[in-house]
Amino acid sequence: MAFNILVVDDSLTVRAIIEELLATQKDMQIVGSAGSVPAARDLIDQFVPSVIILDLAMPGIDGFAFLDELAGHPHAPVLVVSSHTVAGSPSEAQAVERGAFACFDKALLVRQGSRFTALVRKALASTTALARTERKAA
């Protein structure tokens, strides 16, 4: 079984880098790639992703506003990948406070691709744990 990953970033280059990093993972598949929040909404409804990878700085509706929107109902864990979320930054704290599972500094994607992939795995593990908990409660 492959986990569905949705990438939301206005940069085509960054989306391609993330797709390349995750393409090596046999149990992960990119089911959608969106350049905006409105496009992401449609893909979430269509593919029900296991993890959402989200940029913060996007035209129109930004990543913070989308995190706030997602907080209103059940959703996949959100991994924020942004140049604004350098470790220990106010943006990182704000993203987590608003519901992000974790944050990763976009500038480190190529250099620390294995660390990024491990963080996606952690988000998937939380999804799997949540699904197991929901099944037991039902």
pLDDT digits (tens, 9 = 90+) for 24-41: 999 999 999 999 999 999
Domains contained in the chain, number: 1
Query: Given a cut of 80, is residue 128 above it in pLDDT?
Result: no
Tell whether 53 is covered by a domain.
Answer: no
The confidence score (pLDDT) of residue 126 equals 87
Q: How confident is the model at residue 60 (pLDDT cuts 50, 70, 90)?
A: very high
Specify if 51 maps to a domain. Answer: no
In a domain, 52, yes or no: no
Single out the residue of 56, 53, 61, 60 nearest to residue 92, CA to CA: 56
In terms of residue numbers, what domain contains 38? 3-46+58-137
Classify residue 131: in a domain, yes or no: yes
Q: Report if pTM > 0.75.
A: yes
The pair of structure tokens assigned to 93 is 């704290």
One-letter identity of residue 108: L
pLDDT at 133 > cutoff 50: no
Read off the amino acid at residue 54.
Answer: L
pLDDT of residue 132: 41
Q: What CA–CA distance (Å, rounded) separates 138 from 22? A: 33
The answer to whether residue 64 is domain-embedded is: yes
**Residue 92 belongs to a domain with what CATH number?**
3.40.50.2300
